[in-house]
Chain A
Amino acid sequence: MSDMESLTAPHRCLDFHIDSPAEIVEAASRLRQVVLDSEISPIEVMSVFDSWARSLDSRELDEVPGIVFLRMWLRRGTLEPIIARELGPNALDGGWDEYGRSKCRAFPLGVVGHWPAGNVEIQPLLSMTCALLGGNAALVRIPTALVDLTRCLIEKLVQSDRDEVLTRRIFMAAFDHDRRDLQEAMAQAVDGAMIWGGQEAVLQVRALPFPHWARVAVFGPRISVAAMDAGAWGNSDEQESWCRRIARDVWQFDQQACSSPQVLFLEKRQGHSIDEFVRVLRTAFETENQAHPRRTIPGTLTSAIYNARASWLLKDTSHLAIFPKGPDWTLLLGSGPDLPEPVQGKTLTVLEVEDLHDPVLMFDGNVQTLGLGMADPLKEKALTQAAGKRGVDRIVKLGRMHTFVPPWDGVDLIRPMVRMVRHVCSTD
């Protein structure tokens, strides 16, 4: 490419268009060579991330779902402790950690392929950052619906990374999920893979022909649950704050993320009804809806929401529901510890239970996050213990159910995409 062409042509990170397996093979080969030719320490990666995070702090991007999380995630203050915990205290500048007579250090796998979910706008980039922090190159498949937004966000990285410290390690490939030839080429070309999404998508990607040495981390379909003890929801001074937190957790990602609460269990409080709490929750939903209304909705989701409302109320005359005329949000009210079928689309089932352990004992391994609002620390401790035993991977305060901090789904985010190399010195 001539100097003139390099000034006018789009940066290769911004050209997502892919039409042949050969393009993917060529890109992976180039990325692998970059990893071999130039090591990069987490501290260097974080330095670029810092600038990138600042550039994302602009009004034009405020409406992007999850942008606040992405900015927070990219901060040095967030990442430093994660790297130290996952890769070792000296890993920040690429140093070795001593363990008795041996030393350990993280080395990159090479080229890490990313298959993000189509519903989480910032996920292609979040996934990519995990691989880059491990010193890898990233080959990212961008779901068709996220192409424009991802290009917009990666453009900011290109501007922040003038020396191409990171951007030469990145290749974005946008193609339809049913392009089997491209999916296979991508799988064959990587040394590691991070796969996110719904059941159908995850099963399809996991079945691709990865090399036998490739490490594969799957962040598959899960649901999440919220729970509050009687002391928390019954405290009228704090109801508004709790309800705001719940609404925020429900609204993020249109309740389609694995960390989105589908049901809220409320511990029964003798002699008290939940009516007042539900009234406050309704107000919180209305307020959140005014602040963040939907712009579009797939017809399938509209049908699912109306089906859920009707089925709930027809099934049992003790069931109640609160919803506006449109499909904006729904509260389905009842009692009992059974986990309802997840509806998504801001449909929260609120169930009263005698004891919060009752629903937890019925968790079947599909529950990823338990969002808690508890007044009693002893109850919280016991519930956490029970939830951990029943397959829950994250137990967090309500309002923080989507906060992207590893371990996520019970596994680290950076460590699975590095090799921990041990050196026992022969000269000792």
Chain B
Amino acid sequence: MQQLDEKIDYLLSIPPYSQAPDERHAALLDLLRDELEYGGERHSGYKNYIEQWPIHYRSSGRVADLPFLPVGVLKGDPPLAFVSPQEIKRTLTSSATTSQQPSRVVLDSPTSRRMTKGVVSIVRDFIGASRRPYLVVDTPGFMGGSTLGARGAAIQGLQPFASETTYCLNVDSQGELILDIDKAIEFARRHRDSEVLVYGFTFILWNQLVKPLVAEGICLNLSNIRILHSGGWKRLQDQAVEKTVFNQELARVFGCRPDRVIDFYGMVESVGVIFPDCTEGNKHAPTFGDVLVRDALTLEPVEVGEKGIVEVCSILPTSFPGNLLLTEDLAQVLAYDGCPCGRRGISFRFAGRVPKSEIRGCGNIQSKRTSVK
């Protein structure tokens, strides 16, 4: 384990978008193989799975040939774990808005530490390293406890950039989130000339911050600001809010330029690896992870320009099998290297979810009758 730790820490210490693709793949392949073996030693079912993969992981020549898990298997209860219950420091749960059953991933201390380091390494590359006043467009009710949801994990992941933290939403008597306008204005007044960080879930920023401030005609005048948001656009679809309009309106209420708004994608199952938009509007994978976009028919990585199903690779977790995860998201590969923003490796854009089309046909049994023995 110590050797594995050292290898992970080494990759975490490298600037996250500095390695050429070949160099990155070689390092990842080596480490991911070790992690597969490590996981197999700790979970007999996982060992059974990886050993029956058509290509043995020790003889795989590419990350793309390593045994991945579909993210759906992390929805089980109890969650898949490589550690004993006593070692579990925290359980993260995914947002269950797009699926009935949330994913549950367990973190021990080393994985938790790496998760923080991973997020810091990535975010630092986009907004710089300094600590600054942090305005959270949410309530503190999501924090604390041994179980943390996607919103709480994202809020906490940005804490290392905070010199002080202010939550500007309250919960009203109906259980709805409402903006504490006075608190937001007071935060803006106190930090008008400082560098400031704001974070909120995409739909919360729009519904609970932008809409009320626009309605009141309020501008917070925080020009030296970085606004990060995540959580996806699904819940804004019925309001037909386009990304450009979202950025413009957010910039209007904060009194900043639209390019100060950064959308990032993260999933709790892929702890510590998030994907912020670069200045070109693309997403990149850090040195301690990768993204494979696979053709749905062959599962081979797609060519540049093509779309496919996203597999997220991360070397960070050792407490659960989250190193190679086939998601239910789609993405388009824009290049395998050479994004004009200067970041090395793959550049891609998400293209929605795998459509939940009904598998049609007379063999499609959705529920069983009572079994008679």
Contact = CB atoms under 8 A, between A and B. Distances in A.
A, B in one complex: yes
Interface of A: 117-120, 143, 196-201, 219-224, 253, 255-260, 262, 294-304, 306-307, 309-311, 313-317, 319-327, 342, 344, 361-362, 364-366, 390
Nearest to B65: A325
Contacts of B373: 361-362
A288 B42 CA distance: 38
A304 B362 CA distance: 17
15 contacts: A119-B360, A119-B362, A120-B361, A256-B362, A298-B355, A299-B330, A300-B355, A302-B297, A307-B72, A309-B49, A315-B45, A324-B54, A325-B55, A344-B359, A344-B363
A302 B309 contact: yes
Interface string B330-373: 10000000000000000000000011111111111111111111
A290 to B, nearest CB: 14
A365 B369 contact: yes
B355 A366 contact: no
Contact of B360 (A118, A296, A297, A313): A118
B297 A326 contact: yes
List the 10 shortest-distance A-B pairs measured between CB atoms, nearest first: A119-B361, A299-B354, A256-B361, A198-B364, A258-B362, A314-B45, A118-B360, A313-B49, A306-B70, A307-B72
B111 to A, nearest CB: 20
Contacts of A294: 297
B360 A342 contact: no
A308 to B, nearest CB: 9
B73 A311 contact: yes
B249 interface: no
Given A117-B361, A256-B360, A342-B365, A321 B52 contact: yes
Given A300-B356, A301-B359, 14 more contacts: A198-B360, A201-B360, A257-B362, A257-B363, A297-B296, A300-B357, A302-B354, A303-B72, A314-B49, A314-B73, A321-B52, A325-B298, A326-B297, A364-B369
A260 B368 CA distance: 17
Contacts of A296: 297
Contacts of B143: none
Contacts of A295: 297
Contacts of B54: 323-325
Interface in B60-109: 65, 69-70, 72-73, 80
Contacts of B296: 297-299, 302, 327
B44 interface: yes
Given A256-B361, A315-B45, A325-B65, A199 B72 contact: no
A319 to B, nearest CB: 7
Contacts of B146: none
B70 A303 contact: yes
Contact of A221 (B55, B362, B372): B362
Interface string B29-70: 000000000000000111111001011000000000100011
Given A117-B362, A366-B368, A310 B49 contact: yes
A255 B328 CA distance: 22
A320 B52 contact: yes
B363 A304 contact: no
A222 to B, nearest CB: 7
Q: Is the interface of A mostly helix, strand, loop or mixed?
A: loop
Contacts of B46: 314
A392 to B, nearest CB: 13
Given A200-B366, A364-B368, A298 B359 contact: yes
B241 interface: no
Nearest to A304: B359
A256 B309 contact: no
A302 B359 contact: no
Contacts of A259: 363
Q: Is the interface of B mostly helix, strand, loop or mixed?
A: loop
Interface string B277-316: 0000000000000000000111110000000010000000
A364 B372 CA distance: 6
B28 interface: no
A294 B299 CA distance: 13
B326 interface: yes
Contacts of A302: 296-297, 299, 309, 354
Nearest to A316: B45
Contacts of A344: 359, 361, 363-364
Q: Most A CB atoms within 10 A — which of B299, B328, B369?
A: B299
Contact of A313 (B48, B309, B356, B365): B48
A73 B347 CA distance: 53
Contacts of A307: 70, 72-73
A310 B299 CA distance: 15
Nearest to A324: B54
Contact of A224 (B363, B366, B369, B370): B363
Contact of B299 (A199, A219, A317, A326): A326
B229 to A, nearest CB: 26
A292 to B, nearest CB: 14
A163 B80 CA distance: 67
Contacts of B371: 362, 364
A296 B48 CA distance: 30
A143 B65 CA distance: 38
Given A297-B296, A310-B49, A221 B73 contact: no
B357 to A, nearest CB: 6
Contact of A300 (B52, B73, B354, B362): B354
Given A300-B354, A300-B355, A196 B362 contact: yes
Nearest to B55: A325
Contact of A118 (B47, B70, B361): B361
Q: Most B CB atoms within 10 A — which of A222, A298, A361?
A: A298
A309 B73 CA distance: 10
Q: Most A CB atoms within 10 A — which of B359, B361, B369, B371?
A: B361
A422 B106 CA distance: 73
Given A198-B364, A324-B54, A310 B298 contact: no
Given A302-B296, A311-B73, A326-B299, A223 B52 contact: no
Contacts of A310: 49, 69-70, 72-73
A256 B48 contact: no
A118 B368 CA distance: 22
Contacts of A120: 361-362
Nearest to B54: A325
Given A299-B354, A300-B354, A300-B357, A221 B369 contact: no
A222 B362 contact: yes
B361 A253 contact: yes
A303 B354 contact: yes
Nearest to A319: B48
A71 to B, nearest CB: 21
A252 to B, nearest CB: 11
A226 to B, nearest CB: 13
B362 A220 contact: yes
A258 B365 CA distance: 9
